[in-house]
Amino acid sequence: MKDKPKTSRFAVSINTDLLNEFNDLLKEKNYPNRSQAVQDIIRNYIIEEKWDEAENTMGTITMVFNHHKRNLTETLTKIQHDYNDEIISNTHVHLTHENCLEVIIVKGKGSKIRALANQLIQTKGVLHGKLTLTTAGE
């Protein structure tokens, strides 16, 4: 039988407005309890920090943009060419008359992949963007 993991209690001082906002959000999301929520947030934070340090990560960058916007397609292509070692493949879907969806499969150092994703997503005219990182199992 697997042992139940040990738990610890700790006290935290936090801005009251911030805590109220957090409590409201948990209620909205039907979180079973605050301990569970804080635990999930800490776990995600640790995973994300480790991704940045990792030498060998894999993931996808998804973005939606309007290809009619002046120079946008060229800018996004130029950024991707700066990271040709990290980009494995790229799929472009013509979503609507003006909007395109692009999914880029990436592999490499976590911090470098995040830098690429940030550059693409922060480019003016990109309507939505998201980086999803996973591990190569090591």
The contact set with Ni ion (CB under 5 A) reads 67, 94, 100
Residue nearest to Ni ion (CB): 100
Q: Give the whole-angstrom CA distance, residue 51 versus residue 57.
A: 7
Q: Is 115 exposed, middle or buried (0-12, 13-18, 19+ CB in 10 A)?
A: middle
Choice between 51 and 65, CB closer to Ni ion? 65
Token pair in block for residue 30: 């039907």
Q: Least distance to Ni ion from the beta carbon of 67, Å?
A: 5
Shortest distance (Å) from residue 64 CB to Ni ion: 10
Quick one: how many helices (H) and strands (E) in the chain?
4, 4
Nearer to Ni ion, 99 or 111 (CB): 99
Minimum distance from CB of 29 to Ni ion (Å)?
A: 35
Indicate the residue type of 114: R
**60/111 with CB nearer Ni ion:** 60
Q: Report how far residue 137's alpha carbon sits from residue 126's, in angstroms, rounded to the nearest whole number.
A: 31
- Closest to Ni ion by CB, 43 or 92: 92
